[in-house]
Chain A
Amino acid sequence: MVQGIDSMAKTTATRGRELDRAGLSDEQLVAMLRNMLLQRQLDNRGFQLNRQGKIPFALGSEGHEAVQSGAAMAFKRGADALVPYYRDLGLALGVGMTPFEILSSLFARVTDRSMGRQFPNHYTNHDLGVLSISSIIAAHCTHAVGVAAAFKYRGESGRAVICSNGEGATSQGEWHESVNYAAVHGLPIVFLVQNNEWAISTPQDMQMKVANVADKAPGYGLPGVVTDGFSPIATYKTMSEALERARTGGGPTIVEAKCYRFLSHSTDDDDRTYRSREVIEERRKLDPVPRFEQVLIEAGVIDEARAKQLKQEVLRETNEATDSAEAQPYPAPETLYTNVVAGDHRPWQEFES
């Protein structure tokens, strides 16, 4: 009953040269591929560093590259806000965060925006409109709605929010409350649900009775769209339509991007205990990264040499970011005590008497 990426891919697989580019220029298409390659490279780097004992934790996003590069391409820099979740490496990169920021966070160095406080993958960048998040599943969705409410309140049309999470998160009360609130108040927000079929070890059909997260949308009086999360172009198209509707006063949309989690949940998880290798191998055949590379080659947007060059570039970028982040110092222990509240934080106040 549950529809995964395999059935999606059968219907929306790009057919050779008939590339539906959804209005994207060659440059944009290459930028999307580059973002996907960089994401894959940085993902691998995290796992490598973890195996080398250099970082305590890493969490991969393999299988999410296409949806995230497509969604990031639909994001309007300097106007829109992104309220991401921990698997959004590609979205974070795609809206302007740098490999150095990512590596600084993995290494927990002072150059990380949170100065080594946050767990890896908990992006924040106020300048880019990337909201700080906690690890509490779906808590951030309410904040995304608040940002959208602020845009609307200030009459800032032309701005919208991407609120991102997995399909498991849609079981949370706060996801429901967020969608309902945004629907009632007609807010400029897109709820992007990256359905990778798993929430750690819990499959989709143990989370919900409906086949698609998007099927929940009518219950909120909202449009719900299922998109091929293995195709950056399909996701771009769906997301840009939904974001444009939001920016022009048309209210929220639930966008469900079908994708797949190729790796274990994180370095602390072993998915061999709960899912079959065969299914993963089946899904791997649809791996969106080599697939999109092939699509662009077949469509004549890039050639093999350019593809190779892109891969070398992102490897070099990743190596450089790794070296320079690793060379940074750890935050000083005294920084533990700062930024609790504005100014000096003392639970017991003393006054001149």
Chain B
Amino acid sequence: MTATAQQQTGTTVMTNVEAVRTTLHDALVRDDRVLIMGEDVGARGNVFLITKGFLEEFGAERIIDTPLAEASIVGVAIGMAMEGLRPIAEIQFADFIYPAFNQIVGEAAKTRYRSNGDYTCPLVIRTPYGGGVRGALSHSVSIEALFYHVPGLTIVAPSTPADIKGLLNAAIECPDPVLFLEHKKTYRSVKGEVPAGYYTIPIGKADVKKAGTDATVVSYGYNLHQALDAANRLESEGISVEVVDLRSIRPMDKTTILESVRKTRKLLIIHEDNKFGGIGAEISAMVAEEALFDLDAPVRRLAGPDVPAMGYAAPLEDEFMTSTDEMVEAMRELAKF
């Protein structure tokens, strides 16, 4: 199927995982500089079947099963990007990204800077992250806070199929390295309408997923969907919560957060990654700097506890993950503050 033959109108309902898959597929069709590389992306079609059939359609030159070594998956992709290709490197699970930390933080993020633009690194690194799937210590981790400290790196974490398509396209177009985070619990549990045809969503722009007046919730990932459920439940109590989907973690959208907070005068940040030093800390600091006197209540955060990981046993995982009930409770308290 060619780009021109693609249907340009209407929408299709699909899951998050289907959105990743079709967007990757269309990118491969559109641009022969695009390659996919990683562990088991070829014959197996990725462990979540995201690239199933790609090997047959695009060939082993473009769908590359790499040796089992993350530093070189990213490092080789960096070299390809510096040489003008548009590689999409996959890290099978975010938990396995640590061996590539040096390549992402020390190399990809600094390529443009250290050469003063002589070389650039238009690279996408995709990886599934997050818990709630009984993945235990090493298949559940959230990694965004470890990377969002790093200038030169772009991090996006869209949570709906339409946003995934628009932001993955934007990531592939981006002339700099992008870490593209996919919450694996939303892969098949979240469905939505996806517009046909090619489009991008600007990186760095948040989205108000539900308008409200009594409190602002900023979230992303699986938590975003729980927050929406919680906010909808509170409607029956007459509590109106605005839910902002961050979508981009670096850069972040100051305008949307401040506009919402100035309207509701209350802020709750929810993320699955550990609370200490997490994304919520930066948002809280920004709001304190810019809008402290517009607040009617202290900023609140619901986030992962200060433990190294979630356990395999259901009670340990449940204890780590913030439940929708906890969110309802926190929103109610804040609205009434």
B240 at the interface (CB under 8 A from A): no
Q: Which of B75, B81, B204, B254 contacts A174 (CB 8 A)?
A: B75
Assess the A150–B83 pair: CB atoms within 8 A. yes
Within 8 A of A (CB), among B240-269: 248, 250-256, 259
Which of chain B's residues have a CB closer than 8 A to the CB of A274?
none
Q: Is residue B2 contacting chain A, with contact meaning CB distance below 8 A? A: no
Most chain A CB within a 10 A radius of its CB, from B62, B115, B117, B252: B115
> Which of A92-100, A315-323, A334-342 is found at the contact surface with chain B?
A334-342
Q: Which of B44-52, B99-107, B225-233, B319-327 contacts A (4 or more CB under 8 A)?
A: B99-107
Q: Bound state CA distance, A145 and B82, in angstroms?
A: 11
| A329-353 Cβ-contact flags toward B at 8 Å (1 or 0) | 0000001001111100111111101
Interface centre among B69, B79, B112 (most CB of A within 10 A): B79
B85 contacts the other chain (Cβ, under 8 Å)? yes
Between B103, B117, B175, B205, the greatest number of chain A beta carbons within 10 A of the residue's beta carbon is seen for B117
Nearest CB on B from A133, distance (A) = 8
Are A150 and B84 in contact, CB atoms less than 8 angstroms apart? yes
Report whether B175 and A142 are in contact in the complex, using a CB–CB cutoff of 8 Å: no
A136 CA to B107 CA, complexed, in Å: 9
Report the bound CA distance from A115 to B114 in whole Å.
9
State the Cβ distance, A151 to closest chain B Cβ, in Å: 8
Contact of B76 among A81, A142, A347 (CB under 8 A): A142
Closest CB of chain B to A81's CB: distance in Å? 8
Contacts of A340 in B (CB 8 A): 112-113, 151-152
Asked if A131 meets B154 with Cβ closer than 8 Å, knowing A124-B115, A351-B256, the reply is no
Residue A212 at the B interface, CB < 8 A? no
Given A117-B116, A134-B114: 14 more A-B contacts, CB < 8 Å? A132-B111, A132-B114, A142-B71, A144-B79, A145-B75, A146-B76, A147-B80, A147-B83, A149-B79, A153-B35, A180-B72, A181-B76, A342-B120, A347-B151
Instruction: Give the CA-CA distance A177 to B256 in the complex, in Å.
Output: 44
Given A177-B72, A178-B72: A143 touches B118 (CB 8 Å cut-off)? no
Q: A113-B116, A117-B114 are in contact. Are A180 and B69 (CB under 8 A)?
A: yes
* Cβ–Cβ < 8 Å partners of B137 in chain A: none
Judge if B176 is at the interface, Cβ distance under 8 Å: yes
A341 near B119 with CB under 8 A, answer no
Docked CA distance A125–B82 (Å):
12
Contacts of A335 on B, CB cut-off 8 Å? 116
In the complex, the answer to whether A342 meets B112 with C-beta atoms within 8 Å is yes
Contact A115 B116 (CB under 8 A): yes
**Is the beta-carbon distance between B118 and A124 smaller than 8 angstroms?**
yes
Residues of chain A lying within 8 A (CB to CB) of residue B254: 348-350
Contact in complex: B176, A134 (CB < 8 Å): no
Other-chain residue from B83, B112, B253 in contact with A146 (beta carbon distance below 8 A): B83
Q: What residue in chain A is nearest B85 (Cβ atoms)?
A: A150
CA distance A145 to B112 in the complex (A): 19
Q: Is the CB of B151 within 8 A of A184?
A: no
What are 24 A-to-B residue pairs whose CB atoms are below 8 Å? A83-B79, A113-B115, A113-B118, A114-B116, A124-B119, A126-B115, A126-B119, A131-B119, A142-B79, A144-B79, A149-B76, A150-B83, A150-B85, A173-B99, A174-B72, A185-B64, A335-B116, A339-B113, A340-B113, A341-B176, A347-B250, A349-B205, A349-B252, A353-B259
A178 to B67, CA, bound (A): 10
Q: Which of A151, A153, A339, A348 contacts B252 (CB 8 A)?
A: A348
- Assess whether B184 is interfacial by the CB under 8 Å rule: no
Interface residue ranges of A89-142 to B (CB < 8 Å): 113-115, 117-118, 122, 124-126, 131-132, 134, 136, 139, 141-142
Complex alpha-carbon distance, A172 and B99, angstroms: 12
B200 close to A (CB within 8 Å): no
Tell me, rounded to whole Å, the shortest Cβ–Cβ distance linking B234 to chain A.
Answer: 26
Q: Using A146-B83, A181-B66, A346-B251 as known contacts, say yes or no to A114 and B115 having CB atoms under 8 A apart.
A: yes
Q: How far is the CB of B284 from chain A (nearest CB, A)?
A: 13
Contacts of A125 in B (CB 8 A): 118
Question: Across the interface, which residues of A come within 8 angstroms of B256, CB to CB?
Answer: 351
Given A339-B117, A348-B286, A349-B255: A173 touches B112 (CB 8 Å cut-off): no
Question: What's the minimum C-beta distance from B283 to chain A, rounded to whole angstroms?
Answer: 10
User: In the complex, A234 Cα to B332 Cα: how many Å?
Assistant: 79
B106 touches A349 (CB 8 A): no
Report A-chain residues with C-beta under 8 Å of the C-beta of B117.
339
Residues of chain B lying within 8 A (CB to CB) of residue A346: 251
B139 interface residue per 8 A CB criterion: no
Chain B residues closer than 8 Å to A348, beta-carbon distance: 251-254, 286
Inter-chain CA distance A338–B116, complex, in Å, is 8
Contact of B205 with A351 in the complex, beta carbons under 8 Å: yes
